[in-house]
Amino acid sequence: MNAPVNLSADFLNTIRSIVGEQRVKTDTDTLLTWGKDHTKHFAPDPSVVVFPATTEEVAALVKVANEFNIAITPSGGRTGLSAGAVAANGEMVISTDRMNKVLNFYPADRMVHVQAGIITEQLQNFAKENGFYYPVDFASSGSSQIGGNIGTNAGGIKVIKYGMTRNWILGLTVVTGKGDVLHLNKGMIKNATGYALQHLFIGGEGTLGIVTEAEIKLERQPHDLQVMVLGVPDFDAVMPVLHAFQSKIDLTAFEFFGELSMQKVLDNGHVQRPFETQCPFYVLLEFEAPYEPIMDKAMEIFEHCMEQGWVLDGVMSQSLDQLHNLWRLREDISESIAPFTPYKNDISVLITHVPAFIKEIDAIVQENYPDFEICWFGHIGDGNLHLNILKPEDLSKDEFFAKCQIVNKHVFDTVKKYNGSISAEHGVGMTKKPYLGYTRSAEEIAYMKALKQVFDPNDIMNPGKLFDL
Amino acid sequence: MNAPVNLSADFLNTIRSIVGEQRVKTDTDTLLTWGKDHTKHFAPDPSVVVFPATTEEVAALVKVANEFNIAITPSGGRTGLSAGAVAANGEMVISTDRMNKVLNFYPADRMVHVQAGIITEQLQNFAKENGFYYPVDFASSGSSQIGGNIGTNAGGIKVIKYGMTRNWILGLTVVTGKGDVLHLNKGMIKNATGYALQHLFIGGEGTLGIVTEAEIKLERQPHDLQVMVLGVPDFDAVMPVLHAFQSKIDLTAFEFFGELSMQKVLDNGHVQRPFETQCPFYVLLEFEAPYEPIMDKAMEIFEHCMEQGWVLDGVMSQSLDQLHNLWRLREDISESIAPFTPYKNDISVLITHVPAFIKEIDAIVQENYPDFEICWFGHIGDGNLHLNILKPEDLSKDEFFAKCQIVNKHVFDTVKKYNGSISAEHGVGMTKKPYLGYTRSAEEIAYMKALKQVFDPNDIMNPGKLFDL
């Protein structure tokens, strides 16, 4: 198949000479597949997809892109939810698929040096095989790549104990938009020698450069995990329950979901209701219990919460099987509501503000769209809410999404009112770009654009994502 | 007393109108005291010291400084060890001494919002009084300010479990070199909306702007801390001991020191040798033991280490008193060696490389300066070594420091060989400025200078620190 007209033979030959003939693809299948991520709002339209194997090849590609003025879209596991990795405007896609090697392992440092294309699950397994643990985990860990996780500072279900991807990055190798290779922080825990440039690339969505390698900290494996699912009478009760447990036990997760989410998961038939009592909301909490007194303490707190009326009913996992099934009540939500064409939003406010925030959004939706159902769920232990509005059957997809755009405005106004974030863990990409100003001030955005100029003066790196210059 | 000639009456009147007459000082005592930090290599010579009370006042001062082209040195607790807060060239010192208020407390978020001038210990106490814990701790916590800790990304003795200051900063209010006020990240755990600008100011040594407020995460209080001090036969044994404990028990500290350090502390007469056996090196480890089986496990590991010959002798704290005394063996070192005019260095390499690194430095010093004694100690659990060479009695201070400058070169060459850091937790300031290139590449330094231009185009903020433009 011929290359699209906008790429010169000269350019294509040059990049072929860098990565090899077989690693430069211009066939339609490849263009359509590697030109997009998990979003569907923007049609993929890259001009070429390249599969380098090393940092050096990436650097050479970026330099050539600068010479020929060709924009680049970095591409990892393509699981992004904000169109940060969609190449919609003739970009050269640089895929890290072939950069999936473990380069070095430092057991004394509990650290592994990997290429950016390693799959999250592959990293988790490498850690496990070596007696360690990589704690960043989420639904797409089977296909997301570490480079992409770094680009959006991915979070997931264990943040309350382990923090975001950022916490686990001890070093980064990046190729800047100018084509410079920087080895940032080189795996050190302590290094007070000027600006921590690596933190700009973490969460930078590939707009300053491409992450090609990372030194990643590992943790000891968790021991004897236990899960409890508790039913609560209203959202206000969630906060004292969180406090009661968190002040006495180190939680590894504290998730919540509404009855509607529970129903949708149960309708799928894979798992059963954990206890008879139907409750407006549920929390799932997880903790390590390698010592008997921890279980006793958990039971004590549970009973205290029952006495206080904060909890209506509850169950504790009695086996590994039951633990997995309890987790499915939370983890299967996304998949279970997918057939209802949900309008999805990933937002964050201080935990303190969550109850008021949820009430306000519920009221706004109920007032304006009484036939809309809201599925709430999320990582309440870190203030991260997933708001999902289900499409009423009698509404067309287009009508529904048009109405949701108006809801969007209300949601983001409320996020702004509470000083929250319009994107907690999915990044901005193209889908949230128009709303960036709800979370970042005009001055901040101006500084961000100026930083972009420093690392990528020709606006080669993932242009049109995050903001327009 | 009159203001120095280089400040116009117009400028002084303007800044007096911002903070009030009483908050602008030009007397020699104030200039000499607030013009320096804990270093003694550079003579303080500021032209004025100003004590603002709010972010707004700081922003107004920075704007005026830009108009009048007056350089600013931000000043916190003045405990810095790299001359990052020394005003040696007629700068206006902006002291955060009066900005020491707790602005807000969010128990559900385990977060406190403070002004930058709050003393570390004051923050620790506030946390404690509210049932929480602020885990960044070090010798100068009684006088260092949070703003200064942020400026150098301070570390200390609990990093192995709790990480650096950076880990605890959920939000920053900064005044940039241009005088813009930015509210960065606003306390959120999850916020994926573009570049994490706060991380440039953390460890930025006040060269990009002034940190005026911070949202700080708190932790639950540690329970039932236990301390062990173990004697090891050589440095190589430290690594398997670290691994043996760390793989089974969550350590809150893992420190080491040599016999010479021990002797100097014992000579002071405040504490006693923990056990009879003299050993070349000692490790101090700390962990929480709220449950009996943890103590059993610690004893098991200890016995295993004895059997393997990695440990020659050891002691476990039996009371809170003994715990404090064991800690003093490590914490009193700096004070105990101070009379020997030590040449001090604070460096970091991967834990993996520490044994080889120490051997190489020992060999270099022994070969070139057989009469020099090295006191090694440090936070071995995170690769951070404090290298202290004691001055031989018969050498003058000047001769000694001249020779140490040559040793310096060897040390930094070795740091570079192992991809380490010339400053682990003390920053660069002026004392390490000539050596920045040993840890950061020419390209990195060029990007850092370009970032400085973005936030501080007139080079008003702490010029001459970190690098020269």
DSSP collapsed to 3 states, B203-217 = CCCCCCEEEEEEEEE
- The DSSP-derived string for B379-444 is EGGGTEEEEEEEPPTTS-HHHHHHHHHHHHHHHHHHHHHTT-BS-SSS--TTTTGGGGGGTS-HHH
Residue pointed to by tokens 């120095």: B4
Residues of chain B found within 8 Å of residue A448, distances taken between Cβ atoms: 194-195, 197
**Contact indicator for A456, A209 with CB cutoff of 8 Å:** yes
What's the pLDDT band for B368 if we cut at 50, 70, 90? confident
Q: What is the DSSP letter of B29?
A: H
Q: Is pLDDT larger for residue B7 or for residue B95?
A: B95
User: How many other β-carbons are positioned within 10 Å of the β-carbon of residue B213?
Assistant: 26
pLDDT digit string, tens, across residues A345-369? 999 999 999 999 999 999 998 898 8
Tell me the β-bridge partners of A226. Answer: A287
Residues of chain A with confidence (pLDDT) below 50: 1-5
Contact (CB<8Å) A194/B349: no
Q: Does A155 touch chain B (CB under 8 A)?
A: yes
Distance from CA of A70 to the nearest CA of B (A): 23
Alpha helices in B80-162 (DSSP H): 120-129, 146-152, 159-162
Contact by Cβ (8 Å): B379, B160: yes
Tokens standing for residue B99: 């900005």
Residue contact B451–A454, C-beta within 8 A: yes
The string over B423-435, giving b where at least 16 C-beta atoms fall within 10 Å of a residue's C-beta and e elsewhere, is: bbbbbbbbbbbeb
Residue A4: what pLDDT? 47
B5 band by pLDDT with thresholds 50, 70 and 90: very low
Rounded Cα distance between A72 and B19, Å, is: 50
Question: Closest Cα of chain B to A345: distance in Å?
Answer: 13
User: What pLDDT, on the 0 to 100 scale, is given for residue B1?
Assistant: 38
**Phi, psi at residue B259, to the nearest 5°?**
-60, -35
* Residue pair A252/A286 in contact by the 8 Å Cβ criterion: yes
Residue A69, both tokens: 């003025």
Q: Which domains does chain B have, with CATH numbers?
A: 9-95 (3.30.43.10), 102-220 (3.30.465.10), 225-334 (3.30.70.2190), 341-438 (3.30.70.2740)
Asked whether the beta carbons of residue A421 and residue B192 sit closer than 8 angstroms, the reply is yes
Structural tokens at position A255: 């998730």
Average pLDDT of every residue of chain B: 95
ipTM score for this prediction: 0.96
Q: What is the mean pLDDT of residues B92-111?
A: 97
> Is residue B38 less than 8 Å (CB to CB) from chain A?
no
Decide if B227 contacts B326 (C-beta within 8 A).
yes
* Nearest CA-CA distance, residue A100 and chain B, Å: 24
pLDDT mean over B178-187: 98
Using pLDDT thresholds of 50, 70 and 90, give the confidence band for residue B225: very high
The residue among B154, B140, B191 whose CA lies nearest residue B334 is: B140
Residues of B in contact with A138 (CB under 8 A): none
d(CA A290, CA A112): 27
Whether residue A195 and residue B184 make contact (CB cut-off 8 A), yes or no, is: no
* DSSP result, A424-447: SSS--TTTTGGGGGGTS-HHHHHH
Closest listed residue to residue B203, CA positions, set B450, B449, B426: B426
Question: Nearest residue on chain A to B418, judged by CA atoms?
Answer: A186
Q: Which of residues 60-99 of B touch A (CB under 8 A)?
A: none
Chain A residues near residue B290 by CB distance under 8 angstroms: 293
Q: Which of B105, B106, B175, B193 to mutate to test the interface with A (most CBs of A within 10 A)?
A: B193
CA-wise closest residue to A330 among A228, A221, A222:
A228
- For the beta carbon of residue A131, count every other beta carbon within 10 angstroms: 12
The confidence band for B4, taking pLDDT boundaries of 50, 70 and 90, is: very low
Distance of alpha carbon B274 from the chain centroid: 28
Q: What confidence score (pLDDT) does residue B41 get?
A: 84
What is the CB neighbour count within 10 angstroms for residue A142?
12
* pLDDT higher than 50, residue B89: yes
The helix-helix angle for B397-417 and B354-368 (nearest 10°) equals 140
Let me know: does A160 contact A379? Beta carbons within 8 Å.
yes
Whether chain A has a CB inside 8 Å of the CB on B440: the answer is yes
Residues B143-167 have pLDDT tens digits of 999 999 999 999 988 999 999 999 9
Q: Among A3, A148, A144, A2, which Cα is nearest to A70's?
A: A3
Q: Are A208 and A455 in contact (CB under 8 A)?
A: yes
**For residue A405, is it left (φ>0), alpha (ψ between -120 and 50) or beta?**
alpha
Look at residue A139 in the predicted model and tell me its pLDDT. Answer: 85
Give CA–CA dist B442/A227, Å, rounded. 51
Contact A422, B191 (CB under 8 A): no
State which residue of chain A sits closest to B198, comparing Cα positions: A199
CB-nearest partner of B425 from A192, A250, A467: A192
Residue B22 touches chain A, beta carbons under 8 Å:
no
Cβ distance A111 to A187 under 8 Å? yes
In a 13 Å sphere around the CA of A457, the CA atoms on its Cβ side amount to 8
* Contact of A302 with A228, CB cutoff 8 Å: yes
Dist. CA A167–CA A183, nearest whole Å: 18
Residues ≥6 apart with Cβ < 8 Å to B62: B72, B175, B176, B177, B178, B179, B209, B210, B460, B461
**Dihedral sign computed on CA atoms, order B243, B248, B251, B256:** negative
Q: What is the pLDDT of residue B272?
A: 95
CA of A90, closest CA in chain B: separation in Å? 24
Q: Which of B108, B352, B384 sits opposite A351 (nearest CB)?
A: B108
- For A238, phi then psi, to 5°, come to -60, -40
Residue-wise pLDDT tens digits, B241-261: 999 999 899 999 999 999 999
- Cβ–Cβ gap A425/B192 under 8 Å: yes
The pLDDT assigned to A259 comes to 95
How many CB atoms lie under 10 A from the CB of residue B399?
12
* Higher-scoring residue by pLDDT: B345, A74: A74
CB atoms A108 and B183 under 8 Å: no
User: Is the per-residue pLDDT at B24 higher than 50?
Assistant: yes
Q: Coil, strand or helix: which one is B45?
A: coil
Any CB–CB contact under 8 A between A216 and chain B? no
Q: pLDDT class for B341, splitting at 50, 70, 90?
A: confident
Residues of B in contact with A422 (CB under 8 A): 193
Q: Which residues of B touch A159 (CB under 8 A)?
A: 189-190
CB contact under 8 A, A108 and B243: yes
Indicate which of A172, A195, A379, A444 best probes the interface with B, i.e. most B CBs within 10 Å of its own CB.
Answer: A195
C-alpha distance from A66 to closest chain B C-alpha (Å)? 18
- Are the CB atoms for B178 and B455 separated by under 8 Å? yes
Interface size between A and B, measured as CB pairs under 8 A: 244
Residue A184, chain B, CB below 8 Å: the answer is yes
